[in-house]
Structure 1
């Protein structure tokens, strides 16, 4: 038996806030299928190429079949993904203005093949417009490969945050490095940010945002606390129990938490997290509703966001919350009932 302090360091329990998976030694696995479907749609739909023949754009991700996962063992990450994808594209001939449609099929995107070796087939519906098909086969295929590389990069960085947990030896070094970088962080106008350590001893940042909505405060408040309205702007099933301690789940479980405080038409405080954050790590989100007659200023404070997830969290609130709520508010009044 080894003497005290002389055992294999891989099995020595450190002073960690989470007290789990010491030194990242044990096997952990995370399902990346749902996240990947959203990410693939994000990086592929909207891709456009333009040439002498005209302009083409990926208009939809029509078919997604497959799965993805990430496992960690002994501090190493192991990736598995296998996808069969079918995209729709549409194009316009420059000279004639004729419009054409087609498909892009990717039968086997997997870890067994490099992206450059992945088969990509372009087809077009019957009729003229072969020049557009050629444009998609050349420049379009190049754009698609770049997007696939972007998905794989995000899978191996963004999605895996928290799977290799910080140890006592590294957390101080990481925090010092992040503090050096924090000075160059893009900030909202007039709104400072701060760096802190919470939860499982990971570097975090506070996000401050403001948005003006063409809605009275009570109506905007109800959009965040009424299940039907949340499902309308998020376009996904949701769990909304708007009471203290009530659960919240949105975007197919990508966002979850609970309500910590509710003051009707004035304030909502949430315990809030994204699924790809370190396990059991939550931020505190405070939403302040400032009534301005026919408009409302929404002030958001999100404290405890993992530093490496700052940009994606900002985009989550900006793109998936604020912009979609603006769209909802532009709809006829009866759609809000």
Structure 2
């Protein structure tokens, strides 16, 4: 007998993605081209010369975890300002979860020329050193989300029925006439979304604070932009960042609606946790305030409606994410 989703998703599972990871980087990095200020000066990454390390997606306690640490050596070619052809390599010793998401270490780049060296060739490399890192790091930042989007379903056991096929039409009611049944079959009615039944529980408010060396505008965007949210949740997200629109975080683990948005200082949203311990139909309200000072921004998260007994669990989750 199959384990229930809550149990199946509790235990550690992992998938090796080494080959997929190398292919992803090869496809994305070979799109990179930078141009200099001098006429004709241009450098393009052509292919991956070496790829070493481990790429793995894990799942534990219903959370998907990206695990990777790679050494990448790229080949590049370009044209210097004197119209000479130049080739070389770029070694990046570490592309990992730590420097991509945790920001615990900086990227390092080691450039070398494999063709004849000259002043113009050295100038081409100097130009690339200043203009390439930002482009590469934007690509690296998309890698964890791509891992989860492509392979997350292979590790997570869903409680929902499969949606691969076409849903069967609903059965007609017993009081329907033959004519009305035929008409209903010929003209399908739009699905009506059922609202979750609200429940009343004894609750409390949990608040946490944190300071970040970043502008409030950037943090507001990180919290509401659908493309940027996966960089910190490490899971797919849906967010239009408009009042009265629905959002989804952690691959559907948290859902709700935006109540109000005051960029870049305040976000109010309803909050429903898809958890065995969170009462079905219960909705909280999360208020996020961002106060920017001269060198940092303080974020305060205040979640009202936390069921009594869950305060510590919710506080740990808010602090962790």
TM-score bucket of the superposed structures, by smaller chain = 0.3 to 0.5
- Under a length normalisation based on structure 1, what TM-score does the superposition of the two structures give? 0.42
